[in-house]
Structure 1
Amino acid sequence: MTLALHRSIRTIISFCIIILFIVWISWYISKNWSEFQTIYIVSIFNLIALYCIFITGLFLSAIYTKHLLSSFSLNLSLAECFLLTVATTTANYFTFFRGGAGVRAFYLKKKHNFQYADFLSSILVYYLVQFFVNGILGIFGFILLICDGLPFDFPLSIFFLMALISSAFLLFSNIHFTRFESSPLNKIIKIISRGSIISRNKRISCFILINSFFYGLLVSLQTKIAFSTYGVHLTWGASIFYSAGQIPISLLTLTPAALGIQEAFTVYLGNSLMYSTSEAIQVQIIIRFVSITTLAVFGPWAISKITSQNQFKISI
């Protein structure tokens, strides 16, 4: 299968998911309009808190990027990392297949001569760290739910355990793959080997793991506030359990910002965490509203800054 055909199939699947999601959510809201009449009644305090949390999340992501890239001997200023984070997050929200990754790879290559192989390694490390940290948080949330005598989703709990074990193995095992030099998987193996640099630098490893834990807890706080806006008071165990699953789901690249996929996950967990489909949709709407309006303000500014520095154009 050619690359062009593969991209065409992915694009068709993405559009189908988005169209089905729009049709379904339009139908559901129209059939249950009485449950959405209070969607605009939002506490100013909650709204401000959600904006502050989202912007803080961008700063944490920028700090994470700075230290992760430093493990590859690429030292960027925090200001540059923040601009890059805002620009790539904007691209992820408004383009298909996490277009922000392409923006970041092109920018780092053009300005800092950061090789694409090392960029792929940094992306691999990012994904592994997210699965590792959220695996721990998911199990922690699962334990809190048990202690509170509340229901939980067993398949998701198994996923957290498997994600934790597999990501920990790849991140910290320090296994050498020289015996596979002639294997067709050699390119992937080299990427994994480059990415394992994180396990050899304890200071950077500890920092990005702590950063990711704080980010996960920040998303849990965002979840708790967003649900409380519409009268659903999740326990901390439920908020952590939900957020630990939501973060990996957001990494799916089929649709911009995992549109429709995150909503489906939120609705799915409603059976376990005891909130309704209407409440799930309202929560997702307010979170996306905060994210999109923030990026609409700061995104163009960040993109113009990084494009003017490098004299190339990014189209989103």
Structure 2
Amino acid sequence: MSRVRVVEVGPRDGLQNEPTAVATAVKLELIARLAAAGLRWIEPTAFVSPRWVPQMADHAELLAALEQTPGMHYPVLVPNLQGLERALEAGAREIAVFTAASESFTRRNINCGIDESLARFAPVIERAGARDIPVRGYVSCALGCPYEGAIAPTAVARVAERLAALGCAEISLGDTIGTGTPGQARAMVETVAERVPMARLAAHFHDTYGQALANLHAVIEAGVRTVDASVAGLGGCPYARGASGNVATEEVVYMLHGLGFDTGVDLPALVETARWIGERLGRPPSRLARALAPAD
């Protein structure tokens, strides 16, 4: 049976824009529940300034409290060398860096252009490589930008190629505002794969327009075998009007199992975890969680 690797981004991407503080203990329990459900790649936090992302202010405490057991992967987001050093001090063994295929989005999101962001990441990736720490690269706005509109697949490919050349082992291509359609998603991935091997690509699609599962199906048919998702569909882009969040991990896993792929994930346990975190955040369950709810 062919396998698709699911990268769980809920504890970081899903929670980072929550308006009220989520206790560290709740985050740790969420991560423990996700791991118990069989997820082996979980993005737990980001070593960014608490001034800009208050929800991630407990990053060092949280990462230090995680049990780094064999087979578990906890990549943390770092914006620069200072973030990397803090992450290393807290015990990080894998990191991620982020830029975008849109110049306007990059400037508004991280206060610099694409070229400058890549120059900023070069010493981060080099330092991580010297420590044998794998680096994941994110490319936002791979299917559209809230400021520039449609983004050419070749623009995405150029950024992905440069991240790969710097030393990123994997490149995650993000439909940040969730406007992409299956044909666009497949064309984008196939264009990027002309410069970066398909085996090194991941898909990170938001569900603003209800297209995320269809888009994932399209790129999986094209050969992508790593997908990002957020339990209970938590998260979303704060720059996208009406953004409803990431695609729900439980719905992605249900689709993948229906397609005959192995994910290693216990779907009932994952659905229960989705319900659990939704109750604590006051969020409605995903469509799948509602459908699989126990009868009264």
TM-score (norm 2): 0.30
Structure ranking higher on relative contact order (CA contacts 8 Å, 6+ apart): 1
Bigger helix share? 1
Larger radius of gyration: 1
